Amino acid sequence: MDLTPRSAPEPKRSSRRVLPIVVAVLASVAGLAIVVMFLTSSIDYYCNVDEVGVREGCDDTRRVRVQGSVDEGSLQSRAGNTSFVMSFNGVSLPVDYEGEPGGVFQECIPVVAHGRIVDGVLMATRIEVRHSNEYEAENADRLEEAEKSACS
């Protein structure tokens, strides 16, 4: 009979401990990605066409939202792309949009185009035509100016 002391067995590393850590890390990364996406879209500067290149934040170094009216005779649609010129206070800006704006988009109405300015052209990724009641209440003076400068 052998009475020598035995060593304790090595504890098994359980995958049960690793799985919650992996899930927590993946959830944190996904949450961070969502927050960054929303923060970058919420810091687009809002400008009128006449402020582009003049007002701080309204230049080609960042994404912008530009308000103006679609010039009469400038609207062109080719192969799923839409281009037009928008104006505000006598200043014009060409816009290229990949897609069809849809809705009530037409010439001589105020619009807001989201995108980047590249070589003097706004490369739009989104076009807004109608404004919510909340926006209209907060920005009545901007809309009034845009409508006055629209086609007569």
Number of domains in the chain: 1
Provide the phi-psi class of 79: left if phi over 0, else alpha when psi is between -120 and 50, else beta.
left
Domain at 65, CATH number: 2.40.50.140
Q: Which residue has the higher pLDDT, 9 or 3?
A: 3
Residue 100 counted as domain residue: yes
- So what's the pLDDT on residue 1? 72
Band of residue 42 on the pLDDT scale cut at 50, 70, 90: low
Residue 115 counted as domain residue: yes
What are the C-alpha distances in Å from 32 to residues 24, 27, 113? 12, 9, 27
Residue 32 counted as domain residue: no
- So what's the pLDDT on residue 91? 92
Instruction: Specify the 3-state DSSP secondary structure of 100.
Output: coil
Q: Is the pLDDT of residue 14 over 70?
A: no
Distance CA 38, CA 147 (A): 31
Q: Is the pLDDT of residue 76 over 60?
A: yes
DSSP conformation class of 79 = T
Distance CA 13, CA 10 (A): 9
- pTM for the model: 0.61
Range of the domain at 99: 45-149
Residue 122 counted as domain residue: yes
Q: Which residue has the higher pLDDT, 29 or 19?
A: 29
